[in-house]
A and B are shown apart, each in its own frame.
Chain A
Amino acid sequence: MSITTSKKRRGETQIINDDEVDQTHQEEEEEEEEEEEDCQMIPELPTHIVFDILSRLLIKTLFNCRSVCKLWLSLISSDPQFAKLHLSRSHPSLLFKPINRIREPKKLHLVDLQIAPYTHPRNASMKLAPKSTFQTTPESQLTCSTHAMACFACASPAQMTQFMDAIRFWACKLMETTTRWRYTRLEKGYGEALEKPLAPLSMTPLMRSSMVLFIGFLSTLII
């Protein structure tokens, strides 16, 4: 075995036999175990506590936290329960879509209304780049815009609803009839978030040149 590994180091081509494959697998497993031990060393906390702590973070911090360790990544980006909890705890935000005459821009700007009046615009807003094109028709209406998710409803006969998940850069179109429960849940989260009074927001050049996607109650605060 030692001969084959030394050959490998010298970069010679060789046929990998079964033993060697086993060994590399073992090594990989050991490495993974070590990583997991590291993850639990200081926190030593049950997963639901980590879950609770992460759900209280702003989305900007959450983006960083995704790459801290595997446990956190799996909690943040693949757990639907987490998205729900985070949505229920997050502040109301606005989503801006810059207007570009030449081509449909993909980027969206998310502005946190809770901290925007008190800090530099740079700290309160963040850019989002959904991977799939995220088209909004003039009739479509943003019914919910919070940290984890944006929900667009369209009044067209098709009754299309679009969701955009900011954490996973994922957007999808859903028929309202099939997702009735989900739609109402989002509306509820949005209503609860708005019960807190909001401070007025000063406009930045970016906001002036972009289309405000929030049509309805919150737009009165901006204009």
Chain B
Amino acid sequence: MSSSLEKNMLILRSSDGEEFIVPEVVAVMSKAIKNMVEDECASNTIPVPNVDANILAMVIEFCKKHDESEAEAASDLKTFDSEFVNRGQEALYDLITAANFRDVKELLDALCQNVAEMIKGKSVHHIRIQFLGYQLFEILTSNFIWNIWCDRDFD
């Protein structure tokens, strides 16, 4: 009994010590974990540093859904993806970092698409404030300089 559990299940430990029991099929959606499993350098507990429990839970949820619904319609998966990535900016950045670090391609794709949608149709100042952390007064004071810089020749 325990051996079969060990075979198919992996335990992922987040940076703050919480443990998640995950089927191996789901865990290997992360290429980094897949490499570790293939090289047999991992016991059945795999530490996932840099990723806290909250984010790891989200990533696992995403991977589970994708694993289950492989046979389902692609449109269902798409709506799930768009709902899944529709989060606050901070969680979004944490998720991107986690997905990049663990190398989960599907998640990274969905997240990048979402950020692209957020950028779409916004003005330069808006993008600077929202994504680059500029303060409004900085924009107002440096507006003149920026305008010169923006209008210069791009060749």
Interface residues of A (CB under 8 A from B): 38-39, 41-46, 49, 52-54, 56-58, 61, 64-69, 73, 77, 131, 168-170
A56-B112, A58-B120, A67-B150 given as contacts; is B155 within 8 A of A43 (CB)?
no
Q: Are A67 and B124 within 8 A (Cβ)?
A: yes
A41-B133, A45-B97, A49-B100 given as contacts; is B120 within 8 A of A67 (CB)?
no
Shortest CB-to-CB span from B148 to chain A, Å, is 11
Tally of A-B Cβ pairs under 8 angstroms: 70
* Residue B115 is within 8 A (CB to CB) of chain A in the complex: yes
Q: Are B93 and A44 within 8 A (Cβ)?
A: yes
Q: Are A57 and B120 within 8 A (Cβ)?
A: yes
Q: Are B132 and A45 within 8 A (Cβ)?
A: no
Interface residues of B (CB under 8 A from A): 89, 93, 96-97, 100, 108, 112-113, 115-116, 119-124, 127-128, 131-134, 146, 149-150, 154-155
Instruction: Given contacts A42-B133, A45-B96, list 7 more A-B pairs with CB under 8 A.
Output: A42-B89, A42-B93, A43-B131, A52-B108, A61-B122, A67-B149, A168-B154
| Chain A residue at minimum C-beta to C-beta distance from B99 | A49
| Chain A residue at minimum C-beta to C-beta distance from B123 | A64
Q: Which residues on B sit within 8 Å (CB–CB) of A58? A: 120
Q: Are B131 and A42 within 8 A (Cβ)?
A: yes
| Chain B residue at minimum C-beta to C-beta distance from A66 | B154
8 shortest interchain CB distances as A-B pairs: A56-B116, A67-B150, A41-B133, A42-B133, A52-B112, A53-B112, A53-B115, A68-B127
Q: How far is the CA of A130 from the CA of B116 in the complex (A)?
A: 27
A53-B115, A64-B124 given as contacts; is B93 within 8 A of A38 (CB)?
no
Can you list 30 A-B pairs with a CB-CB distance of less than 8 A?
A39-B132, A42-B89, A43-B131, A43-B132, A45-B93, A45-B97, A45-B100, A46-B100, A49-B100, A52-B108, A52-B112, A53-B112, A53-B115, A53-B116, A56-B113, A57-B116, A57-B120, A58-B120, A61-B119, A61-B122, A64-B123, A64-B124, A64-B127, A65-B119, A67-B146, A68-B128, A69-B128, A77-B154, A131-B155, A168-B155
